[in-house]
Amino acid sequence: MKRLSLITLAAAAALMSATAAQAQPAPGAPPPLPEYGGTVTLEQAMKMGNAAVAEAKKLNVHLGITVVDNAGRLVYFMKMDDTRRIGVDLSQGKARTAAATKVPSKAYEDRVAAGGAGLAVLSLGVTASSGGLPIMMNGKMSCAIGVGGGPTGLLDQQVAQAGLDALK
């Protein structure tokens, strides 16, 4: 009997310390993902789209620009003149990826580039290419922007970032 209660006590202590460990992220752990919340208005989406188009014109590139809500549904879309056709699907795919995963679509490009077990992301239906960014409003994730069709993914991401910055 005495021995049993000792074991119970030890188990309880172990459980408590495990809970405590969970509450405090281990050093080096990635920051927690944002909560979904709020919605994007058409006015905000257009503001982002216009800023992205302005940045694209400055860089002399032709792009597809997409804003989706948290569910990945289209709010705003613009295909600039002479955008290569794949830019349409890329921009929408990147926006949906950022909305669905709460992280920039670059995260999946990096995982694929690293190879190994990370290649499993290819089975998730994500667009593993830079240019999709989740967008926070009032501390919560509210929508996502995706840009595609440029010469490199990083350039697409730069244009997406210009769109995001327009909300600040």
Partner 1 sequence: MRPMTMAAGAACVALMFAGSALAQTSPRPNNPNDAIPEASNLPPYGSPINAEVAKKVAAAAIAEAQRRNWNTMCIAVVDPHGELVYFERQDNCQYASISIAQHKARTAARYRRPTLMFENALGKGDNFKYLTTLDDVIASRGGNPITLEGKVIGAIGASGGTGSQDNVVSQAGASSLTATTGSATSR
* The residue to which tokens 């927690």 are assigned: 32
In the complex with partner 1, which residue's Cβ is closer, 49 or 132? 49
Which window, 69-77, 119-127, 141-149, 150-158, contacts partner 1 (CB under 8 A)? 69-77
Nearer to partner 1, 36 or 77 (CB): 77
For the record, the structure tokens of 14 come out as: 């172990």
Cα angle 11-14-19, degrees, rounded to a multiple of 5: 125
Shortest reach from residue 61's CB to partner 1, in Å: 13
- CA 32 – CA 49 distance, rounded (Å): 28
Residue 77-106 contact track with partner 1, rule CB under 8 A, x = bound: xxxxxx--x--x------------------
Q: Judged by CB, which is closer to partner 1: 34, or 72? A: 72
Q: How far is the CB of 46 from partner 1 (least distance, A)?
A: 7
- For residues 91 and 161, which CB has a smaller minimum distance to partner 1 in the complex? 91
> Does position 60 bind partner 1 by CB under 8 A?
no
Binding segment toward partner 1, per CB under 8 A, in 23-31, 40-48, 108-116, 124-132: 40-48
Cβ of residue 83: shortest distance to partner 1, in angstroms?
8
Instruction: Choose between 46 and 136: whose C-beta lies nearer to partner 1.
Output: 46
- What one-character-per-residue DSSP string does the chain give? -HHHHHHHHHHHHHHHHHHHHHHSPPTTPPPPPPPB-----HHHHHHHHHHHHHHHHHTT---EEEEEETT--EEEEEE-TT--THHHHHHHHHHHHHHHHSS-THHHHHHHHH-GGGGGGGGGT---SS-EEEEEETTEEEEEEEEE-SSSHHHHHHHHHHHHHTT-
Using CB under 8 A, list all residues that contact partner 1: 39, 41-42, 45-46, 71, 73-82, 85, 88
